[in-house]
Structure 1
């Protein structure tokens, strides 16, 4: 059992880590590129670059976090403008101020490591995170499912290959005679690229062709070797297929790379760096691509299969929950209308009050009851309204002893769970009784666990009773919503019906 403060802290940490993960990856990538361009092997220098980038980029990280939190916690009408303003302040206004300061102050320009390159990487990371979250919330329609396919493994590989080609084309276009001036500084001079744009395009298509050769091996591995040979014929057929692919593809693709104009007499862009398409280094490079891509493809294929199975299971669970909910609500409405009918026949002045209380209960059922979670305070208020309504019907016949939890607003629960226990006590303990009866209800929260204890008297003429449809539905809903996180028991003792429910709550 988790302490409430610890549970909230853990939930908050997971939220922050998930939010900042992609931005930290972009920041470390920028730091690695800068460290590589310095031709330094010093760990202290790399750490200095990382810490300085982290300090200079902290407003962007904060803007990304608070924009995502604002979008999740506010109303739909305010989300777009509020989150957009927060994000723009961090990712547009702040970088522009830094670039302006670097132009005006030479000492700062020498010191800073925040550049257009790092800004674009963080911008892409933040935009990709926001788009993925947006698609995850709207993947029901065919249009959004089509957009989601753009983020498939093939699309990601194609995007990475294109980005790799653009970066290296920019580096080559920023350097005079780059093939002969090795090693190169991993720096892109945007002014030089614009002036020599035809050189950029000249290098770009060649790097794209080299990247396409690598993608061809990956796609062959995925669609032919893994999906056909490995899935249908086993591991030995897969190994044989890999061996055949390496032997046949290596010289063929090596010949394609040698056709590129970037190659010179003393240097080529083959892994062997010579003109021998049958060099062992070329075969080892092809083997390395298969070796690296295979576990990635297998992991992605398994994740896609598990996602599809989870979606099917979720749809089945949602359908079953809706059916159970449709059984619970009419049962409660039927009992309440019976009470209203009896009071109307008797000409009771309490009938209008009963109608208002019934309206409040139905409003909660219709609007809040359709949500996945509500605050425990809302659910407790619903129980209190229900008891007030029943008190009009039963009068002084029922002695009620109730204990409510404190700080219920700190926790959330699935709606319309607890009412089943109380409704069952009213239906089988109060309504059939011709004499005084009693209900003891205790609800408390301890270390994130809710404990509900309900004991109601049973009329002597009732005999041994069996659980009804209400309790059966409750058990099924608990198994669907709180699998492994609840305990439930309901049994008849001497003159009493005892119900115990314990379940793990979630912090708000």
Structure 2
């Protein structure tokens, strides 16, 4: 059992930094947009924009972190405070204070990108923890790589169409500024739709290249025929697809321009074999290929992890079902003998046995139960044996306090008690003592058990303890110690277990 006593600065890792990546990406994208749209060239100006944006977005980072770590309702409140109340306050200050307006404040675009990045990432993370299968499947399909690429390309089409719609005769008055007039989108909606369907058609062709690369070149050629054939297939795709795609783009009305005016093709002209066209397709394949491979690798890792978890659950269930039935058979035999004699303690024996079986069937199938329930099960088990063995066995027991405060895997401790009775009580007719004591110190449970060993008993408490060791390894890795001390007359077992609080 290992205790983490490392300093905080040593425990900080890249994993903890991951939660801030969505916001960092959104802020860096916003700073680049501002820098390029303002035609700035100075490194100092670029660093100033980045510094100002990151400083003003500190409350967003704090709200994002709290929303990730808190429970659902407090997380929503923290997120709303950071991403709605704080930007609203900045907007009010910007209107009321002239000097504040001179600072690089968070505008609507920056807020929208930060809120979207944070919200999507948080929903994805919380959905992964949620057991609601329908919502998880729906969100997973929405956030699949194909969907994300499609959404990004559609977003680019909408933005490009909005920019073109803002200017008069944009193709004839190039270059144009990357600005969007939202009012014109609604007042000239037919013109906007005309630009939108043509840009959407163009990005649809790009999406087709992505699908060919992922499902034909990578999943089929690369997977089944190796890297060399993949490179050859890419070269053929580049040579064949480029002129075909450019020919399709040139058929759009928006590209029906006078000679010498740049169109929407990468080459900016009507030459379908322009080097710039091949460069564009090559760069798209070069950029999309590692992204697809990384995503496929991550998906494969998730599948392998799910399979491993399922195998672990299956093994735990099998181990749990292997709990020694020896006591059940003996108890039924004793019950049969008592009923023949019409003994007074037969009804009590039936009731105790029913309670034990009820716990095994219902509570035993759960992942964790309260320590109090597990202790009550152990008490019932001992009471059953007291009825069966009358004065032949004395139990020296001790139970912990605050049992209701901790959780434990069910039917775990009983295996030690079963072995103590099976090998220390049942083989002899003499009066014996079994020690079974459980104590708690903070969240560490300590179980000590001892039982006598008969002189000619060479049993190693076999299957039961092997079962216990395996379950401890699967359920409490690095959170348990099991020590067995055996001499000629006594068998001692000490188990230390790190429990979780309720």
Q: TM-score, normalised by structure 2?
A: 0.77
- Cα drift, residue 114 of structure 1: 0.9
Matched residue of 2:263: which SS? coil
2:301 aligned partner: 306
1:435 to 1:459, Cα distance in 2 relative to 1, 3 A? farther
The match for 1:239 is 231
Larger Rg belongs to: 2
Distance in 2 of aligned mates of 1:404 and 1:9: 36
- Structure 1 residues 104 and 214 mapped into 2: Cα distance closer, same or farther (>3 Å)? same
Deviation at 1:55, TM superposition (A): 3.8
Q: Comparing 161-170 with 328-337, which one deviates more in the overlay?
A: 328-337
The correspondence for 2:193, drawn from 182, 195, 201, is 201
Counterpart of 1:275 in structure 2 is: 270
Closer, same or farther in 2 for the Cα pair 1:216/1:197, shift >3 Å? Answer: same
Output one character per residue of 1:16-58: Cα deviation in whole Å (capped at 9) or x when no partner: 6454332333233223322332333444444433343334334
Which of 107, 121, 129 is the matching residue for 1:129?
A: 121
Preserved CA contact (<8 Å) 1:365 1:416: no
For the pair 1:290 / 2:285, whether they are aligned, the reply is yes
Contact 2:420/2:450 (8 A) holds in 1:
yes
**Aligned-pair CA distance for 1:404:** 7.3
2:458 paired residue among 448, 456, 464: 464
Q: Within the alignment, does 1:25 sit opposite 2:25 as a pair?
A: yes
Aligned mates of 1:465, 1:126 — CA distance in 2 = 60
Tell me which of 133, 147, 157 is aligned to 2:149.
157
Q: Which residue of 1 aligns with 2:244?
A: 252
Instruction: Output the TM-score relative to the length of structure 1.
Output: 0.76
**Matching of residue 496 in structure 1 with residue 490 in structure 2:** yes
Structure 1 Cα separation of the partners of residues 53 and 391 of structure 2: 71
Structure-2 residue corresponding to 1:480: 474
Measure how far apart 1:156 and its partner are: 1.1
Aligned to 2:208: 216
Q: Within 2, Cα distance between the matches of 1:336 and 1:181?
A: 95
Change (3 A) 1:445 1:101: same
Which runs of 5 or more residues in structure 1 are unaligned? Answer: 73-78
Question: Equivalent residue of 1:120, what SS?
Answer: helix
Contact 1:22–1:129 (Cα < 8 Å) also in 2: yes
Q: Is the 8 A contact 2:356 2:380 kept in 1?
A: no
CA–CA separation in structure 1 for the residues paired with 2:497 and 2:241: 59
* Alignment correspondent of 1:48: 48
1:429 aligns with 2:424: yes
1:80-119 Cα shifts (integer Å, max 9, x gaps): xx54444334333443343344344444333242111122
**Residue in 1 aligned with 2:112?**
120
Checking the alignment, whether the CA contact within 8 Å between 2:49 and 2:104 is kept in structure 1 is: no
The residue number in structure 2 matching 1:75 is none
2:165 alignment partner in structure 1 = 173
What is the distance in 1 between the residues matched to 2:469 and 2:240? 61
Higher mean C-alpha displacement, 130-139 vs 250-259: 130-139
Could you tell me how far 1:414 is from its partner in structure 2? Answer: 4.3
Q: CA 1:9–1:464 in 2, change beyond 3 Å: closer, same or farther?
A: farther
Displacement of 1:464: 0.9
**Cα distance in 1 for residues equivalent to 2:63 and 2:14:** 18
**8 Å CA contact retained: 1:258, 1:270:** yes
Partner-residue secondary structure (3-state), 2:102:
helix
SS at match of 1:437: strand
Question: Which runs of structure 2 are paired with 1:395-410 in the superposition (5 Å)?
Answer: 398=394, 400=396
Higher relative contact order (CA 8 A, sep 6+): 1
Higher mean alpha-carbon deviation, 98-107 vs 146-155, is at 98-107
Q: Distance in 1 between matches of 2:336 and 2:327?
A: 14
Task: Give the aligned length.
Answer: 491
